[in-house]
Structure 1
Amino acid sequence: PQKDDDLATAFDYLKRTHIELFPDDHNTFSDLLTKAGFILTGEPKSAISILTTYANNNDMYRKPICVDQLWRHLKEKHGIHPQRLEHDSRISPAIEDLQNQFFESINPGLINRKIISREETTRIIDAIDNGQDVVVHGAAGNGKSGVLYELAEHLRQKNVPFLPIRLDTRVPGNTAKQFGQDLDLPESPAHCLAGLAEGRKSVLILDQLDAIRWTASHSSTAMCVCKELLRQTRSFRKDKKQIVIVFACRTFDLENDPDIKNLFAENSENVVVKVPVAAFSDEQLKDVIGPDAFVPLNGHQKRVLSCPHNLAIWLEIKKE
């Protein structure tokens, strides 16, 4: 350190040194599991253990670890292969089928079978563009699924890969991977969507989250799968993949169900954007039913019909 030339050399080395913090904690290991599950076949924990053993083998000290040798070790000795989800021909048709099921399940309940543009959808799109996860919430009948329908239609028109799942009819079980296989996907829905997107923006939509509590006999297991999907999505974003997840549930459950509250617990790193879906205003109601039908309504009738679900029923009755 007393020699200027040596100090200059040391500084030259340091300014070209990149240090990446890799804390040995639960969150880091969870991210590692997600990455291993995405790029390797087999059970992620086993794959990580095999890689660790390979690196710590005495024969490997002071020797470079080469890609071809490592793959040969994984394939020949342990039967582990590259996952290559971006080239899996099963994913695209399965996701397209799930998209069609989603649209068909909501379309019959749309008011006059049309999309009514909502300001809430714009807020969700803004959050997605900012790489933020979203929970859409509101009272029963306020049109949360209709907002997600409008969102899905927007994503389809913009050619953004998206995977919508209604949790009242597709109840998760066991693990995220098993849930994906139950949907005719080869892997977890988050893994398959990230693979299909190949670096593009993508959106995983989980509608009717609150339904898990009253339709699933093992609701705690189903909620654990939702947590796993959220964790996987966040891990992918740390790995520079542009994927977000959008949930929908009732406001009552969001505020009172301990499991759902825990799912969306916020900290400095993970902030979920909460988008409330309100009933129609008088102006929106007038736009939908027309001035002639709106003017005769009294205050109580307007309040009843401001709920999109009630309004859809009333308009169907009116047709008859």
Structure 2
Amino acid sequence: MTPRPGGEADKFGNRYEAAWTVRQALNVLLGRGDSIVLEPASPLGDGIEFLYRRDGLTQAHQVKRQNRNANSWNVLSLRDKGVWEALRTHVDGGRTFHFVSTVPARAIEELTDRARRSDDAAAFRREWLSDGLGSQFDTLASAAVYGSAEEAWRMLRGLWMEWPNERDLIDTNAVLAEQILTGAPGHSAALTLGDVLMTSLGSTLDAPAITARLATHGLRPAGRSESATMAEEVATATRRWTATVESALLRPVIPRTEAALLVERVTADSPRLTLLTGTAGGGKSAVLHQAIETLIASGTPVLAFRLDRLAAFDSTHQLGLRIGLPGSPVGALGAAAAGRPCVLIVDQLDAVSLASGRSSEAFGPVTDLLGEAAAFPAMRVVLVCRAFDAKADPRIRELTSADESAQLEVGPLTTVQVDAALTGMDLDQGRLTPSQRAMLSSPCTCSYWPRSRTGRTYSPESVPPGSSWMSSGSSNGPSANFGYPRCTSTGWSRQSWQP
């Protein structure tokens, strides 16, 4: 949303600037940064909002929420905002310069990356100015800005550009604050941190200094005991998910290749998001169960929960409360993992889909989890839903089209897997017709196949509770010699066959 000119634009800009500043202060508390100084005295503070020190290097941050109504920045629009002048001041002072906005400047960002990879200005101009970038660099090197190619190249090497989404920034601040501070919910703690920063202008704030100031507001760092408690609460929530699916799993277990693929994906650098899909009764729960067992056995923290059995929620914080956590599931898992690789699994996404969900309005908080998870580089997210909903709901389709996302389809059981299941249940495969064998490629059908031996008469008592008995071409279903349950859109029914 573009704010109206004047006071409203200023308020929006101040809010975005505050959110970015709070993010860096949270990084200091997390040990990712050394210190932060808001509005340092001139000349250090010229043209910037704050200085941020990390790994022994000083970064100068300038924040411009937007470029009026334009959807991008270019060399001249940045010049008009004084960015190039401020950049030179800080690069000449031995600092890197970070320009932050909701509006991208992709051509300039590409120029900065290529400048850092080139050996010198001559090589840069000769070898790196393809893809229409030459005109932007020529403008930067012209008398209107720096006056020489050498100077323009040198400035680009010291420039870093970022465009975080404002809502994601605020939400991730809240989940990070919830992870590392106790005494208030995440959003309140982040706002309090912002107030502390604004009353400490010009002061160098490292982690101890920030912690001391927060203590006067009733906030303190979360200790090891809180982290241990959070880890147990996360494990308990995952055990509750496990309990809801175990009764319907095939016994003996049939190893699914999709489970191994899922583990491989969530333990790799990318993708950050995996959408696991399949037909109703197609074995998604079995794949998840096997993958979770493997991950937990390897020491990877996992938080799994399902959306179809929860009361209404309208925020990630409330969602966490619904599954027995003190706040957002992302914050809880992040605290339990303490920087280690971890996996968040959201099952039954179709419960909030537009196609068949009963709570489609809750889709927003679920997608907010993805934004929050971006604050934890080692966290991977798995969303699970029926293939029908993944195709029918445009919001779910959009998720899989995003960068660092992928889809994994759970297929039917193979002939070898069906034979293994029947052998494991001590059933006679020779009594199956081809159509029955085809039906058994669905795990939900296979898991309820009657576990009895040849010659036994099947009766209505052997039908799963809530099912109905149906005969094939006869009203004498109870006297049929063989039957199997069929998974339908409304529940279980039993179709009898006489091979």
**TM-score category by the smaller chain?**
0.7 to 0.9
Distance 1:122 1:141, change over 3 A: same
What aligned pairs does 1:220-299 form with structure 2 within 5 A after superposition?
220=361, 222-237=362-377, 242-262=378-398, 264-267=399-402, 270-290=403-423, 293-299=428-434
Pair 1:224–1:71, CA change in 2 (3 A): same
In 2: Cα distance, 1:292 partner to 1:110 partner: 17
What runs of 5+ residues in structure 2 fail to find an aligned partner?
1-87, 103-164, 459-499
CA-to-aligned-CA distance 1:114-170 (integer Å, 9 cap, x gap): 321111111111111114321111111110001001011111211211111122223
SS of aligned partner of 1:226? helix
Corresponding residue of 1:129: 267
Q: Distance in 1 between matches of 2:290 and 2:445?
A: 19
Larger relative contact order (CA 8 Å, sep ≥ 6): 1
Task: Tell me, in whole angstroms, the C-alpha distance in 2 between the residues paired with 1:207 and 1:172.
Answer: 16
Once the two structures are superposed, the pairs formed by residues 164-179 of structure 1 within 5 Å of their partners are 164-171=304-311, 173-179=313-319
> C-alpha distance in 1, partners of 2:232/2:191?
34
1:72 Cα deviation from its structure 2 partner = 3.0
Higher strand share: 2
Paired residue type of 1:246: V
TM-superposed deviation, 1:110:
1.4
Matches within 5 A, 1:87-126: 87-112=226-251, 114-126=252-264
Counterpart AA for 2:266:
I
Deviation at 1:66, TM superposition (A): 4.6
CA distance in 1 between counterparts of 2:309 and 2:452 reads 27
1:285 Cα deviation from its structure 2 partner: 1.5
One-letter identity of the residue aligned with 2:236: D
Pair 1:23 & 2:101 matched: yes
Structure 1 gap ranges (5+): 1-9
CA contact (8 A) 2:301 2:333 kept: yes
Aligned to 1:95, what secondary structure does the other structure show?
helix
CA separation of 1:43 and 1:91: change in aligned 2, threshold 3 A = closer
- What are the equivalent positions in structure 2 for 1:24-43 lying under 5 Å apart? 24=102, 25-26=165-166, 27-41=168-182, 42-43=184-185
Task: Looking at secondary structure, tell me which structure has more helix per residue.
Answer: 1
Which deviates the most, 15-24 or 166-175? 15-24
CA distance in 1, matches of 2:99, 2:221: 27
- Residue 201 (structure 2) aligned to one of 60, 69, 79: 60
Task: Tell me how far 1:243 sits from its aligned partner.
Answer: 1.2
**Root-mean-square deviation (Å):** 3.2
SS in 2 for 1:141: coil
Q: Report the secondary structure of 1:235's partner residue.
A: coil
CA displacement at 1:45 relative to structure 2: 4.8
Name the % identity.
Answer: 23
- Give the superposition deviation at 1:111: 1.5
TM-score normalised to structure 2 length: 0.53
- In the alignment, the residues of structure 2 paired with residue 102 and residue 44 of structure 1 have an alpha-carbon distance, to the nearest angstrom, of 25
Equivalent residue number for residue 5 of structure 1: none
